Amino acid sequence: MPLMDLNDMLKHAYRHRYAVGSFGIDDTLFMAGVLQAAEETRAPVVLNLIATHFAEDELESFIPLVMQAAHTATVPVAINVDHLSDGALAQRVMSMGCNGIMIDHSSLRFSENVGRTAECVKLAHQCGVTVEGELGHVPGEPVDGEGGDEQILTSAGEVKAYVERTGIDCLAVSVGNVHGHAKGSKMDLARLVRIHQAVDIPLVLHGGTGLTLEQYRKAIDNGVAKINYYTGLADAISKRIKANLAADHRAVYRDLMHGVTENVRAEAVRCIKSWRSDGRAAEVSAQCRAVGEVEYVATLAVGNTASGKPGIEPVLQEAQRSLASIPGVARVSIGASRTHAGRYCVIVTLVNETAARHFLESQRHRQVTSKLALSYATDWSDGLYVEMD
Ligand code: 13P
């Protein structure tokens, strides 16, 4: 099925007091285990790509695989890229179809965090993408080149202004939660209650590994609608690899990896049940918006006034590059008619309806079309939408 709008998915969880599992996946074995768990429990799920775990090119080559797997799922799936700080990378992952991003400027000062997050929110909302911001800092997953990694608890007095000024859809909170194994500090539930009273949007709990059932329950009862979970899955994999090696010291790669997906599945099932998202897939599919690619098709006829002008091919290539750089454009193809000289078809594929609307209104789109019309007396027919999926 197509991806599910992440904002809709989280609002559903928020209203019905459960949390969607946002499972950190490093490769296809993690991914298969998480998807099997979601299918088995009929739970909506977020496939979470933690940007700090990948080189940029690795992340960009993994995304198409994740997208393909998400589309074959029979439960609602959203794809989120976590702990992004670079706006250009954020734009690229959105144009590849990821429908959620977490912008992490949590170790910067309030005003800087607000300013940079708000900039990304504006762009993401034009692409129909859900944005999570973080106020306060959850230690253990620092983003490159930004401040330290000290725990900073979320100030309940600042959250309202933060949410209003940035326009974020959901908020990651720092209430004693810590990424990774380094647990120890207790959850400050009184702080979480005050945050929940101050803002009426889904809250996100990072550092989901190692908390007790009671802590999960209290978090969910106080506005947490998404729990990020990674280390517990990585541990489940390591445990299996170590057992495989202990059973056979000559084990090669394939033997070592045997059964890791099963361990991820079992751990993800445990989480999903603890967070009460099991059995919610049908309601979410019925009540939330699905998001799928949209195509914009234009035909282009080079008129007589083009005679004597340089070939149109370089101009079309430039137009293709320019259109492809508009946020939310997945790809642009331009093909020449085989039977009618001077006729071309331009197909612009956008990540969803919202992105298509903004594409048509964008200045760059207008510049490209008017440049073509002026230079070549073209006939740029009106766009025609074709829904995919
Ligand atoms: P854990 O690794 O502690 O589960 O946290 C994952 C996380 O919050 C990713 O953003």
Q: Give the per-residue pLDDT at 42.
A: 98
235 is catalytic: no
The CATH 3.30.70.100 domain(s) of the chain lie at 292-386
What are the tokens at 375?
A: 């230079």
Which tens digits make up the pLDDT trace of 81-125?
Answer: 999 999 999 999 999 999 999 999 999 999 999 999 999 999 999
pLDDT at residue 369, rounded to an integer: 81
- Class of the CATH-defined domain 3-287: alpha beta
**What six digits make up the tokens of 274?**
């603890």
CATH of 292-386, one of 2.60.40.10, 3.40.640.10, 3.60.40.10, 3.30.70.100: 3.30.70.100
For a pocket test of ligand 1, which of 103, 170, 179 has the largest count of ligand atoms closer than 8 A to its C-beta? 179
Q: How many alpha carbons lie under 13 Å from residue 92 in its C-beta half-sphere? A: 14
Percent above pLDDT 70 for the chain: 93
Closest Cα to residue 205, out of 347, 12, 13, 61? 13
- Which of 132, 230, 238 has the most ligand 1 atoms within 8 A of CB, as the residue to mutate? 230
Q: How far apart are CA 178 and CA 151, in angstroms?
A: 8
Q: Which atom of ligand 1 is nearest to the CA of 210?
A: 3
Domain(s) labelled CATH 3.20.20.70 in the chain stretch across 3-287
Spell 28-64 as b/e; 16+ CB within 10 A means b: ebbbbbbbbbbeebbbbbbbbbbbebbeeeebeebbe
Distance 29 CA to ligand 1 centre (A): 18
Q: Tokens 């979470």 — which residue?
A: 48
Assign 3-class secondary structure to 182-221: CCCCCCCHHHHHHHHHHCCCCEEECCCCCCCHHHHHHHHH
Measured at the CA of 104, the angle between CA 134 and CA 122, to 5 degrees, comes to: 90
Task: Report CA 181 to chain centroid distance, whole Å.
Answer: 25
> What does the block give as tokens for 245?
């090696």
For residue 101, count other CB atoms closer than 10 A to its CB: 30
**388 — pLDDT class (breaks 50, 70, 90):** very low
Average pLDDT, rounded, for the chain: 91
b vs e for 240-272, b when ≥16 Cβ sit within 10 Å of the residue's Cβ?
Answer: bbeebeeeeeeeeeeebbbebbebbbebbbebb
